[in-house]
């Protein structure tokens, strides 16, 4: 595998997730924290128009527009569909030989997910990265979902580069800068850059043979009635408790009529994106994950 | 003072503060929790159009449109300026003899303000209400700012009624229902209704002679540079610490360059609306309050 020569850090893919945008501003003033000897670093504002209006997106969710067939479909001409094509030209083209080798896409969530690294693509490098990150930031959560989608169908921005990951930190309201979220996002980004530098130079430290991670198994929607109105909210037993075990029979939803709706699954799962504001118009309540163990291959 | 015969509970004055809207939906299905013998209760959706788009407002902040001169200015024709005139017709007219006797306006905040009752108008009734609320919900915070604005210049929706208060509960992201915020908002509303019932019937219990409250003394904006760009964020020493003392010299802002900017005031103050998402486009950082003691007159 050839080395990583070009890294793009993308902020503001969602226009109201401002932490990444302010990190870019900070690094534009002083690039030294994101500069390493073995690769060049580019700073990319994902969706300036959405940020101008302090919204997640104007027409479509930008981070759902990067499936190859959509990038190649000239009839998709909304704000984010066009922006995706421009980013594909700037960073890609998506496929075997993009210009950018590694994309770090900075996101925040209103959910209490702490500092999370999302691995959405296949390669042994990612598990080495996960192990390296866990060594330096043991509180960092790893989500790996790289087996859920074929690369060409994967609609995430980070798939434009040869490699790509998502940094996801919360909780923070949309449009708000929280110092802790800002600093955690910065630290995880710098640790990823350190990893790439070691990877390029063949100087990776000894890594643990395994890393604990979470794997997406499904999503739950808020209960609704016959006319589509919500009848319940996420129960306080679950809200704010991302990555804590949810057992069969545990309280899951709190009905407006005072009822309690229990989790009816057959095994213990670990919720994430609990009560995320961005998924609210689709009645999305939370995603469910199982614990998995990643096997780290020595480089 | 004549009795209170008509109470209006308003939710969704800000379209993305959904807790009040869902409380209205709940009570529309079953009015018994908000029904009392001595007055009638109306449920009013403040700004349905803003809620449709899950935004605070479409054109102007609705809760700034109720100064008498603005209500009477036919040239103000934006979405919220028109909605204010319609609400004035429905609930008012603002002035000496409105149709509605008491307005409870339900709001939420992204700030960690807990359960707060905002008193923005003058009358001994309000201090009796504050004392009654504190008896039943000791954790409830009282803000009184009724001496800061002449009644006709007061731009708040709650000034349409003969009496009016604001219920403000947080933290919750915009557009999100949190069970605890929902239940606290409901409880405070029901306690206010209980108070009105006792007030009408002359059955108020013995109340404490004094109540502790907070009084607004000013606001601080985020630091900006010569071209208006923010250079700092609210320091984690203050963020999430609404109503906790801020002393001269305490960390106040965290600069993106790593610097710490201290609070330069001359006396201890108590912040609120810290890092509120809605005040972000104006670079508003927090409001400052002093502790005051309200003297409660027996009825």
pLDDT tens, residue by residue, A241-271: 999 999 999 999 999 999 999 999 999 999 9
- Is it the case that residue A215 has pLDDT exceeding 90? yes
Query: What does pTM read for this prediction?
Result: 0.95
Distance from the A209 Cα atom to the nearest Cα atom in chain B, whole angstroms: 36
Q: Tell me whether strands A40-45 and A6-11 are parallel, antiparallel or unpaired.
A: parallel
Partner residue opposite B179 with nearest CB, options A25, A174, A235: A235
Contacting residues of A for B179, CB less than 8 Å apart:
233-236, 239, 254
- Whether the CB of B174 is below 8 Å from some CB of chain A: the reply is yes
Q: Which of A110, A135, A121 is nearest to A276 (CA)?
A: A110
State whether residue B272 is helix, strand or coil: strand
Partner residue opposite B26 with nearest CB, options A54, A175, A256: A256
Mean pLDDT, range B64-74, rounded to an integer: 97
Mean pLDDT, range B191-208, rounded to an integer: 97
CB–CB of A173 and B177 under 8 A?
Answer: no
Reading the block at residue B14, the tokens are 């800000």
State whether residue B222 is helix, strand or coil: coil
**How confident is the model over B109-125, as pLDDT tens digits?**
999 999 999 999 989 99
* Sign of the dihedral through C-alpha B242, B245, B251, B252: positive
CB–CB of A174 and B177 under 8 A?
Answer: no
* pLDDT category of residue B148 using cuts at 50, 70 and 90: confident
* Sign of the dihedral through C-alpha B182, B185, B190, B191: positive
Specify the pLDDT at position B159.
97
- Whether the CB of B218 is below 8 Å from some CB of chain A: the reply is no
Q: Give the Cα separation of A277 and A280 in Å (integer).
A: 5
Specify the pLDDT at position A40.
98
* pLDDT category of residue A27 using cuts at 50, 70 and 90: very high
Specify the pLDDT at position B63.
98
State whether residue A194 is helix, strand or coil: helix
- Is it the case that residue A98 has pLDDT exceeding 80? yes
Percent above pLDDT 90 for chain A: 95
- Whether the CB of A251 is below 8 Å from some CB of chain B: the reply is no
* pLDDT category of residue A1 using cuts at 50, 70 and 90: low
Residues 6+ apart with CB under 8 A from A199: A3, A4, A125, A128, A299
CB A103 within 8 A of CB A158: yes
């Amino acid at each position: 595998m050839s080395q990583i020569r070009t890294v793009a850090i993308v902020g503001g893919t969602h226009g109201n997730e401002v932490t990444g945008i302010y990190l870019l501003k900070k690094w534009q003033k002083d690039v030294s924290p994101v500069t390493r000897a073995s690769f060049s670093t580019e700073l990319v504002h994902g969706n300036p128009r959405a940020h101008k209006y302090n919204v997640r997106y104007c027409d479509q969710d930008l981070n759902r527009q990067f499936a190859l067939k959509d990038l190649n479909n000239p009839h998709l001409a909304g704000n984010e569909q066009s922006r995706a094509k421009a980013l594909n030209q700037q960073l890609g083209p998506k496929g075997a030989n993009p210009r950018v080798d590694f994309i770090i896409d900075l996101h925040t969530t209103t959910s209490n997910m702490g500092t999370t690294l999302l691995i959405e693509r296949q390669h042994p490098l990612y598990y080495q990265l996960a192990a390296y990150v866990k060594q330096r930031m043991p509180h960092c959560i790893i989500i790996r979902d790289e087996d859920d989608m074929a690369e060409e169908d994967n609609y995430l921005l980070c798939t434009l580069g040869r490699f790509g990951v998502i940094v996801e930190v919360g909780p923070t309201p949309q449009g708000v800068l929280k110092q802790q979220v800002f600093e955690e996002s910065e630290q995880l980004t710098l640790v990823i850059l350190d990893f790439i530098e070691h990877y390029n130079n063949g100087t990776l430290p000894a890594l643990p043979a395994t890393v604990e991670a979470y794997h997406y198994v499904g999503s739950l929607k808020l209960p609704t009635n016959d006319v589509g109105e919500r009848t319940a909210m996420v129960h306080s037993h679950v809200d704010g408790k991302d990555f804590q075990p949810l057992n069969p029979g545990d309280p899951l939803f709190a009905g407006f009529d005072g009822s309690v709706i229990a989790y009816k699954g057959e095994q213990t799962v670990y919720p994430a994106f609990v009560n995320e504001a961005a998924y609210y118009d689709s009645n999305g309540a939370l995603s469910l994950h199982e614990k998995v163990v990643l096997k780290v291959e020595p480089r």
